[in-house]
Chain A
Amino acid sequence: MILEMAASGFGDRLAVGSLGGDGLTFAQVAERAARLAADLRARPPGPLAVAAPTGLHTPVALFGAAAAGRSYAPLNYRLPEASLDELIRRLDPALLWTDPVPLDPLDPLDPADPGPGADGDGGAAPDLAYDDAPEAPAVVLYTSGTSAAPKAAVLRHDQLAAYLFATLEFGSAEPDEVNLLAAPPFHVAGVAGLLSSVYTGRRVAPLPRFTAEGWIEAAHRERATHVFLVPTMLARIVAALDADPSLRPPPLRHLAYGGARMPLPVLERALELFPDTDFVNAYGLTESSSTVSILGPADHRRGDRKLLTSAGRPLPGIEVKIVDGEIWLRGEQVSGAYLEAGSKLDADGWLHTGDHGSLDDEGYLYVTGRADDMIISGGENIAPAEVEDALLRHPDVAAAAVVGVPDDEWGERVAAMVVPRAGAELAVPDLAAWARERLGGLKAPAPLVLCDELPTGPTGKVLKRDVRAALEGTRATQATS
């Protein structure tokens, strides 16, 4: 339905692709999605699974599967083969696309055949008949899972549509708007970014592999106006821009971020480097069809440091409440359902997020961290975020991850893994003393270990369980010597 609308409203506009490179108009995406749907209908039941980086095929796969009444399951193509095979086995897909996606019968992309709707009238919508089943599963996403095996979250058509309708107006993008899509296709931000772009009529320029320098170059080349970044990506971009003054920050209109907690020093520096860009902090979960709460551009420019650590206010249609320190969510876009485990919503429809947080008097949400990540040392609750932000204020620290490790005396101890800035001479005892002075003995990390980079997952999220595993074997005396 959404793609059909886009194809009929602005069919000759470029939907996905690069400036001066390969691309598909909205009409061409619709035409190829219709062909894929016909192919899928002839197959046994099951989803369309795609294990490949974002490309021209991505919107075709998402909407083609939907038109055929099949769910779309983008998979982490970077996983080791055995892990990927296991995820595929659990899905039992009707069709699996791997990298490189065999675009036939979608290929060749014949420049002489721009597709229906490209003749200028934009109104020759292709026949994209679709199964009208709003409560059917639309997208299956394996969530990273901070502890156990990945869970297959199921998002329905009506839930994803509720997200779009709550946040966007159809066709509202200016013709020159470009979304440089760096979030991987198997992350909820990748799915939401694609849906939003199609619904608003914004071109998607795929960025299949993220590096800071590559992103900066692509943002200039594609004339990107809109981007979404996870905090690790923004941290690397900020570091790259600071390290090499010949790199210019691209002139973005809009920078949204989310997926993990944003370190305050990174955000403050980014606001300086992108003075004319609108910043949006988007808080959400896979299970809530992405964003449920946003801190908008004006709130980013008030000069209020505390507000910069807020996840903002809930979207229309989303209810948020705090129960025993945990964030609970309810609303039309909130799924909370999994492929094998079924719905995890409580009897009243609330999703218990597992995130710790608070709401202030003005309705601003503050997310303090995963409930699992909270450190309890000597009976005191310590949020890793506070310690990480303090460490990042040291001029020679590029990145830091803080976890709790078991301690016979205190129950848990604060432990930190720190990445020194390139070229910096950082000595552990000096940094430990510096941290103790600012944080006090209870919160100062010990052990404190230096490393070249933090262990991160496919979306750039720091894997706290890996940090914990690496630090558990180390001794506290390392930092106190």
Chain B
Amino acid sequence: MANLLGKRYTCHECGATVLVTKPGEGTVACHGAPMEQHQAKPLPSSD
């Protein structure tokens, strides 16, 4: 799974979240497992 720019990934084990600031190949992993892409809760723009 490639890492997508600006996407967030979360670890199920410890709750750590990472934000991809430079895209690339490979998998972000934590606690021995690939982290899961964080599904953002869509919120209306407030500014």
Chain A interface residues toward B at CB < 8 A:
1, 4-5, 8-9, 165-171, 183, 189, 192-193, 196, 200, 226, 228, 254, 256, 258, 278, 280, 282, 284, 290-291, 294, 296-297, 315-316
Q: Select one of A171, A254, A256, A291 contacting B5, CB under 8 A.
A: A171
A5 touches B21 (CB 8 A): yes
Say how far A231's CB is from chain B's closest CB, in angstroms: 15
How far does the alpha carbon of A291 sit from the alpha carbon of B43 in the complex, in Å? 12
Q: Select one of A9, A167, A226 contacting B43, CB under 8 A.
A: A167
A interface, over-half SS = mixed
How far does the alpha carbon of A415 sit from the alpha carbon of B1 in the complex, in Å? 66
A1 touches B40 (CB 8 A): no
Say how far B38's CB is from chain A's closest CB, in angstroms: 10
Given A8-B5, A170-B7, verify A256-B21 contact (CB < 8 Å).
no
Say how far B17's CB is from chain A's closest CB, in angstroms: 9
Check: B31 CB closer than 8 A to any chain A CB: no
A254 touches B44 (CB 8 A): yes
B44 touches A1 (CB 8 A): no
B46 touches A256 (CB 8 A): yes
Check: B13 CB closer than 8 A to any chain A CB: no
Which residues of B9-47 have CB atoms within 8 Å of chain A's CB atoms? 19, 21-23, 40-47
A294 touches B6 (CB 8 A): no
| Interface CB pairs A-B, < 8 A, 6 | A168-B45, A170-B7, A192-B46, A196-B47, A291-B46, A315-B43
A282 touches B46 (CB 8 A): yes
How far does the alpha carbon of A254 sit from the alpha carbon of B41 in the complex, in Å? 18
Q: Select one of B21, B22, B40, B44 contacting A169, CB under 8 A.
A: B40
On chain B, the residues within 8 Å of A196 by CB distance are: 45, 47
Given A165-B19, A169-B40, A316-B41, verify A5-B6 contact (CB < 8 Å).
yes
Q: Select one of B8, B40, B44, B47 contacting A193, CB under 8 A.
A: B47
How far does the alpha carbon of A88 sit from the alpha carbon of B44 in the complex, in Å? 36
Say how far A379's CB is from chain B's closest CB, in angstroms: 38
B22 touches A280 (CB 8 A): no
A228 touches B47 (CB 8 A): yes
- A201 to B, closest residue via Cβ: B6
Q: Besides A9-B6, A290-B47, A315-B43, 4 other CB < 8 A contacts?
A: A169-B40, A256-B44, A256-B45, A280-B45
On chain A, the residues within 8 Å of B47 by CB distance are: 183, 189, 192-193, 196, 228, 256, 282, 290-291
A169 touches B45 (CB 8 A): no
Say how far A128's CB is from chain B's closest CB, in angstroms: 11
Say how far B37's CB is from chain A's closest CB, in angstroms: 11
On chain B, the residues within 8 Å of A254 by CB distance are: 44-45
On chain B, the residues within 8 Å of A284 by CB distance are: 46
Which 10 pairs from chain A and chain B are nearest by CB? A170-B6, A282-B46, A291-B46, A192-B47, A193-B47, A169-B40, A280-B44, A9-B5, A167-B43, A294-B46
A4 touches B44 (CB 8 A): no
Q: Select one of B21, B22, B40, B44 contacting A297, CB under 8 A.
A: B44
- A228 to B, closest residue via Cβ: B47
